[in-house]
Amino acid sequence: MIKRRMQWSEIIRDNAWILLIFLYMLLSILWSKYPELAFRRWVKTTGTLIMALLVLTEVNPLEAISTLLRRCFFVHLPLDIITVKYFRDFGVAWGNWVESEMWVGLTTHKNLLGQICMTSGLYFIWDMFRKIEIRRMLVNIFYLVLTIFLMNGPGYSRSMTSISVMILGISVLLLLQYLKKNPQGLGRLLIKSALAMVIVLLFLNFAIGAFHPGSSLSSVTLDETGKDATLTGRTELWTDILSIAAKNPLLGVGYGNFWIGDREYDLWIKHIWTPLQGHNGYIDVYVELGVIGIFLLIAVLVATFQNIGKSLLEDFDYGSLRLALFIMILVHNMAESSLLRSNHNLWFVFLMIAISIPATAREEAPAPLESGESIA
């Protein structure tokens, strides 16, 4: 049996910010209202960290991540469709405040199903670029069709956030493929692309205002995506959460302690759609861990981006997958919440792309002995 040998001192050094935020989450239990529940949630999210490390410390971490995602999607997507079509008591739900069908598949909400689909859509397109094999391409296309089918359900089933984020991730992936021969030019191209995008957006906003007085690019975009000016009640919810967070801005209320107890029920009285999260990962981190938690999160994100930049130069396939998923998760947390949430699949995905395992931390395992060979 071949055992993995790792230099844990190097791994700890390269992931110091991730370990610090986990330690601060543990420390925040001291001032939380429900310390026992907070500790159980911390143990659970620490288990997610350990599982991510188990994947990344494999001999080939890219193949380990790819195999894990592929097998999960191979099982998840077909079963989602089967439950939606034939076991509707499990696969279909109804919104709390709209009389409309909502596909959930094996999950508990259409947004969670959308998050599975947006990740699978990106993965299968990434895999097409990585391994150009006819049989594998056909399988990838088949599962892409399943993904699109699930994301385009009737009535209240569509998660526009997930659809938009998947399109963004695929665009990033295509841009990276364009830069494959010259990854050093990524920074310059991103700056040029950002400037061009700003110019186009300003022009579109001016044109819409000129031909349709009183309208703007943002209002038209919201109308086309089925949203309103409050982003389906999100902005009003954010205002209420931030007013609560202002009572303890430095330390927060403690990890895992906001969406339980009286605060949840007070928000449910005002927001009839009974939110179970802040629908913004950064606001949820702020209200639970305060300004210190936000600072540590920013440090984690900056360190992750730097590590991904290095991996793009060392292993383009690995780096491109990490960068596309990283940007998707960052943008997704502007309208949904997955950061630091132990029960969220995107938090596990984030840890797999954020944790850095330096090549120097991997010790070569001794080769297995041939039959009849003895140790001198």
Does the pLDDT of residue 65 top 90, yes or no? yes
Q: Is residue 72 part of a domain?
A: yes
d(CA 29, CA 255): 6
370 in any annotated domain: no
17 is a domain residue? yes
pLDDT band at 96 (very low <50, low <70, confident <90, very high): low
Confidence bin at 202 (pLDDT 50/70/90): low
In a domain, 219, yes or no: no
User: Bigger pLDDT: 108 or 324?
Assistant: 324
Q: For the chain, what is the mean pLDDT?
A: 82
| pLDDT score for 309 | 86
Alpha-carbon distance of 305 to 321, in angstroms, equals 13
Each residue of 109-118: pLDDT tens digit?
888 899 999 9
Instruction: Note whether 151 and 114 are within 8 A (CB).
Output: yes
Report the range of poorest mean pLDDT among 39-48, 65-74, 239-248.
239-248
Identify whether the C-beta of residue 361 lies closer than 8 Å to the C-beta of residue 11.
yes
Sign of the torsion angle spanned by Cα atoms 103, 107, 110, 112: negative
Total-model pTM: 0.85
Among 108-117, 255-264, 289-298, name the most confident range: 289-298
261 inside domain: yes
Give me the domain span that covers residue 206: 5-211+230-363
Dig out the tokens for 70 from the structure.
């592929």
pLDDT for the residue numbered 370? 46
Does 222 fall in a domain?
A: no
Is the per-residue pLDDT at 92 higher than 60? yes
Would you state the pLDDT for residue 194? 62
Does residue 200 surpass a pLDDT of 70?
A: no
More confidently predicted of 190 and 338: 338
What spatial distance separates the first Cα and last Cα of the chain, rounded to whole Å?
Answer: 20
Q: Which of 96-100, 252-256, 307-311, 351-355 has the lowest mean pLDDT?
A: 96-100
Q: What is the mean pLDDT of residues 73-99?
A: 85
Averaged over 223-242, what is the pLDDT?
Answer: 68
Residue 372 maps to a domain:
no
How many domains is the chain built from?
A: 1
What pLDDT shows up at residue 277?
80
Is 264 domain-assigned? yes
**Stretch 295-322: mean pLDDT:** 91
Instruction: Kindly report the three-state secondary structure assignment for every residue of the chain.
Output: CCCCEECHHHHHHHCHHHHHHHHHHHHHHHHCCCHHHHHHHHHHHHHHHHHHHHHHCCCCHHHHHHHHHHHHHHHHHHHHHHHHHHCHHHHEEECCCCCCEEECCCCCCHHHHHHHHHHHHHHHHHHHHHCCCHHHHHHHHHHHHHHHHHHCCCHHHCCHHHHHHHHHHHHHHHHHHHCCCCHHHHHHHHHHHHHHHHHHHHHHHHHHHHHCCCCCHHHHHHHHCCCCCCCCCHHHHHHHHHHHHCCCCCCCCCCCCCCCCHHHHHHHHHCCCCCCCCCCHHHHHHHHHHHHHHHHHHHHHHHHHHHHHHHHHHCHHHHHHHHHHHHHHHHHCCCCCCCCCCCCHHHHHHHHHHCCCCHHHEECCCCCCCCCCCCC
Per-residue pLDDT reduced to its tens digit, 120-175: 999 999 999 988 889 999 999 999 999 999 998 887 778 888 888 999 999 999 88
User: pLDDT at residue 373 above 90?
Assistant: no
